[in-house]
Structure 1
């Protein structure tokens, strides 16, 4: 769809504006931030804060997850938008500068060929080294000080750029081989992909030592939503057959194609459901389909509303969701 829009003159450098959306977002930002909401990344990385301690295993885990088959369509979309976005190296630097390691990894891996053409790796590395040098000079003045909070912030900034250097080095050395594998193995099993990625990283001496990443260490499950009745009742659990419904071969193939298309769309929605978008991040309440498990719905209340009993919380949440549904229907 993005490719079609660009072909007919859509502009990749227009930014969002208005009271009802996050302002200043490029289409590239939306693609990257929505990728960050993929269930694989959320389940395995949100609770893992080891990167704040300089643990490179976090970055290795991130690289393995991004190479799984379910991530390919998101990387392809990011790559396409990055190639049409002006000053894309500056956009990458903004992610790195603010410590947004996951968005930076998505953009780097997806558009690494484009960054090579722009000499982007050298430019980003120079910016990181300049920032580290400035921090080193700043750190000299902190040695004799007693401000613990300032020292903590200084350490966090240094780790932020150290992590970025590790990430940059991985993709600079192994990025082309990883991208070639992603493009050629879109239907490989998770075990096979994780093993191959570990081998590629170790070949370039930028990966974990030993056995690398184990599939048992990663949580790669879809949302527990169940197959919607509209799909299962309409087509049944197996493909349509000519003998069962008395259609011509062409009609059977058309119906089977529709069936496969619906199942494919449903499978994609399992990992990045259609009701979630970075564009709605400012909304106090979000709308969710009825088949979403309660445990997957974040509990968010406006400021000033106190959390009391369970029944009161449920009532307040229902009121907020109903208000959002009414507003969506009116729009």
Structure 2
């Protein structure tokens, strides 16, 4: 008897048993249960395996170790549920980092399945009832905890650095596999712009930049379309709060596109070249240097990831010192052992817990105000700052003191 024809409670009991099995990804028990109820293998089982990241059970279905393959399940259920998602859409929604499974699905079945739109209730909005597997993947990726912390209006450079981290590498590989088989990527990108989904837009640019910049039927590129709307809003004059927010979001999206027009190829190459784990502070340094080499200015807030990777103490040294002089060796810019809590420099990230006892702090603060905007050059500024604070017997390098002086003037807390 087909599972669709089974009494509801029989199906529910079977489903509960399958849930227990896929939770622990027990392939042997999974195959044993399926062999007793061969008609029970349905799209719901594929979804359970993907949502619980049951790799072994999911591969057993895809590789034909059960009575029916994933693609046969789709063909069987489409007549009953026309909006049934493809196995690709299900895996992309719930298990988007499983690029090996997505690759296998593309190889085992017709790649046209990547171009088929299907409903997936968790990732599709009311005004967009259908989406490609690639869209499901990028939407799910943007919901990842570390990316959820980023907010529009903060730092686009920080968003790019977060997307290039090792944790997203597998998901970007999956997206890179699906992109060549997905139609209308520039339309997909425009949907992200229209809805303010900048995380999804940035991820799409990392894997399919050339397709995002393809002109629309109107002849306009996505950037030109944004500029056209922003100019129209400015001509309107007084805008209400929502219109101002929308305008700001469009400007931010345009800035993101500008970054990728200059640095997109280098960023994509960097992400695709990662083959083994790279710690967050190393990715931070690498990506920041890629951006700087393409003429993009970085602010302190762009490379401060300590709120997101609190478990990575190396980020403090990477964000505060290495990026000040990217050509120098990393160890050269670690804090000197003499800059300790005893002198008022707190490694926890809070500012100067015992300022009254810190002579070095008072020397830094008592020097003449440094005019950062009018300084002839950064090296000259560093030398000037060093002369203001170094008495020659502190045992601390002049460059360390100079960098600290610059940061104190900018109000950056250690």
Match of 2:240 in 1: 151
The CA distance in 2 between the partners of 1:137 and 1:189, in whole Å, is 47
Contact 2:169 2:274 in 1 (8 A): no
Report whether the alignment pairs 1:213 with 2:213. no
Counterpart residue number, 1:328: none
Native 8 Å contact 2:165 2:283 kept in 1:
yes
Distance 1:20 1:173, change over 3 A: closer
Deviates more, 1:202-211 or 1:67-76: 202-211
Unaligned runs of 5+ in 1: 143-149, 223-331
Q: Paired residue for 2:284, among 194, 211, 219?
A: 194
Gaps of 5+ in 2: 1-100, 313-414
Aligned to 2:110: 9
1:244 counterpart residue number = none
CA apart distance, 1:135: 1.1
Cα distance per residue 1:107-147 (max 9 Å; x no partner): 1112124446x4589711111111112212222xx3xxxxx
Tell me the residue number matched to 2:205. Answer: 108
CA shift, 1:221, in A, is 6.4
Answer yes or no: is the 8 Å Cα contact 2:123–2:139 preserved in 1: no
Change in CA separation of 1:19 and 1:82 when aligned onto 2, cut-off 3 Å: closer
Please list, as runs of the form range in 1=range in 2, the aligned pairs for 1:152-301 lying within 5 A after superposition.
Answer: 152-186=241-275, 187-209=277-299, 212-219=302-309
Show the counterpart of 1:69.
Answer: 166
> Per-residue deviation at 1:212?
4.9
Question: RCO (CA 8 Å, sep 6+): is it higher in 1 or 2?
Answer: 1
Q: 1:20 to 1:131 in 2, by over 3 A?
A: closer
Judged with a 3 Å threshold, the aligned counterparts in structure 2 of structure 1 residues 5 and 69 are, in CA distance, closer, same or farther, namely same
String of CA shifts for 1:64-103, please: whole Å, max 9, x gaps: 1001111111112112222211111011001101211111
**Contact 2:206-2:268 at 8 Å conserved across structures:** yes
Measured against aligned partners, the alpha-carbon deviations of 1:4-59 in whole angstroms (never above 9, x if no partner) come to 222320422222248898431221111001111222212x22xx45x1xxx4x2x1
Q: Give 2:182's match in structure 1, choosing from 57, 70, 85.
A: 85
8 Å contact kept, 1:202–1:209: no
| TM-score, length-scaled by structure 2 | 0.45
Q: Which residue of structure 2 lines up, in the alignment, with residue 132 of structure 1?
A: 230
Would the alpha carbon gap of residues 39 and 18 (structure 1) be closer, same or farther in structure 2, given more than 3 Å must change? closer
Distance 1:20 1:180 in 2: 31
Tell me, what secondary structure is at the counterpart of 1:177?
A: helix
TM-score (norm 1): 0.55
Instruction: Count matched residues.
Output: 203
